[in-house]
């Protein structure tokens, strides 16, 4: 039913629960796992030109760390990727590229809660992704970085 799962991560503490839930989901369905980090080209382009190359490199390094963290926490092999682009579009494109059956993401990431109910990137992924999206929110009152692996919210 679910053969390929893409975990979209930004490496933030608030996404840890989403990663845990997604890895559990993948294990239950014996799915192939892909961990994806997107270097936000909008964030790079909006920075002063004099620091763009350094910022891009720093974000790529953060991305490598984020996908490596997913791979380390998984009990199965994980294909990792760091891409550059607009996050929601790049996540959707990657899901098509690897013929994913589901994409998992947190609802709040590095930039905090910039939307009332669901983060801006997660909301855009839900709207544009060609496959079902499993969104996992951080529990209210849950400390940043806590390692709770409770259930998630499924959105298709």
Condensed to tens digits (0 to 9), the pLDDT of residues 58-94 reads 999 999 999 999 999 999 999 999 999 999 999 999 9
56 beta partners: none
How much is the pTM?
0.83
Q: Which of 32-46, 78-92, 95-109, 115-129 has the lowest mean pLDDT?
A: 115-129
Average pLDDT of the chain is: 85
In a 3-state reduction of DSSP, which class is residue 131?
A: coil
Confirm if 76 and 33 have CB atoms less than 8 A apart: yes
Provide the pLDDT for residue 65: 97
CATH code for the domain of 79:
3.40.50.12370
Domain count, the chain: 1
Provide the pLDDT for residue 122: 87
Q: Which residue has the higher pLDDT, 52 or 13?
A: 52
Looking at the predicted structure, is the pLDDT value of residue 47 above 60? Answer: yes
List Cβ neighbours of 101 (8 Å cut-off, separation of 6 or more): 1, 2, 3, 4, 5, 31, 131, 132
Range of the domain at 39: 4-155
As a whole number, mean pLDDT of residues 13-24 equals: 91
């Amino acid at each position: 039913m679910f053969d390929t799962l893409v975990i979209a991560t930004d490496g933030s503490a608030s996404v840890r629960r989403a990663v845990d839930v997604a890895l559990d989901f993948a294990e239950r369905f014996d799915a192939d796992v892909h961990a994806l980090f997107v270097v936000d080209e909008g964030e790079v382009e909006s920075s002063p030109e004099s620091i763009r190359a350094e910022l891009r490199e720093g974000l790529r390094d953060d991305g490598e760390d984020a996908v490596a963290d997913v791979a380390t926490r998984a009990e199965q092999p994980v294909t990792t990727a760091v891409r550059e682009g607009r996050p929601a579009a790049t996540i959707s494109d990657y899901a098509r590229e690897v013929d994913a059956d589901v994409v998992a993401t947190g609802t709040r990431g590095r930039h905090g809660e910039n939307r009332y109910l669901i983060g801006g990137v997660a909301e855009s992924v839900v709207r544009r992704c060609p496959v079902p999206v499993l969104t996992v929110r951080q529990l209210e009152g849950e400390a940043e970085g806590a390692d709770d692996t409770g259930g998630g919210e499924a959105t298709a």
